[in-house]
Structure formats: C-alpha cells, structure tokens
C-alpha cells in the first residue's frame, strides 16, 4: 500500500573529497495512522546508503516498509 507523505527535506553536503551530494529525509504516516515511517538516504559519492524505520510497534509487526510503501509480512 502507498503511504501518505507528511514531510520531505533535502540537505546539501559538500562531500568528503569525491564530490558533493545530498541527504534526503522523508516522513510518512504509518498504515494505522498512529505513528510515522521515516526514510533517510545519503546520496553522497562514497556514502550511498539508506535506512527506513517506523516508530509504531504495531505496524512494525505487520508490515515491511519501503520508500513510500508498506507491504504485509
């Protein structure tokens, strides 16, 4: 299911010698509506990682989260 996006921000980074990039942060409403799902991506050369987590225990037990989506386990 598609999640409702609540916030989005991008922070520029000068990088660490390999060029500049950005850090992307997105916040979504969790499926039950009582919590939030957070997505963070480091899009900086040499540091291309991402993380996604929820602050809702109930939804963490029921769903696997992707960027902007929730899939039942």
In this predicted structure, what is the pLDDT of residue 50?
87
Q: Give the max Cα distance, the chain.
A: 43
CA 7 to centroid of chain Cα atoms: 11
Instruction: Using DSSP bridges, classify how beta strands 63-66 and 69-72 pair: parallel, antiparallel or unpaired.
Output: antiparallel
| Mean pLDDT value across residues 58-63 | 95
Q: Does the pLDDT of residue 36 top 90, yes or no?
A: yes
pLDDT band at 61 (very low <50, low <70, confident <90, very high): very high
Helix residue ranges per DSSP H, the chain: 57-62
pLDDT at 58 over 80: yes
Query: Does the pLDDT value for residue 13 go beyond 90?
Result: no
The span from the CA of 27 to the CA of 33, in Å, is 13
pTM of this structure: 0.83
What pLDDT is recorded for position 39? 96
């Amino acid at each position: 299911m598609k999640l409702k996006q609540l916030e989005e921000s991008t922070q520029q980074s000068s990088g660490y010698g390999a060029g500049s990039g950005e850090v992307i942060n997105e916040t979504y409403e969790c499926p039950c509506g009582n919590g939030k799902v957070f997505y963070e991506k480091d899009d900086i050369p040499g540091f291309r990682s991402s993380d996604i987590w929820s602050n809702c225990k109930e939804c963490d037990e029921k769903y696997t989260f992707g960027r902007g989506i929730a899939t039942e386990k």
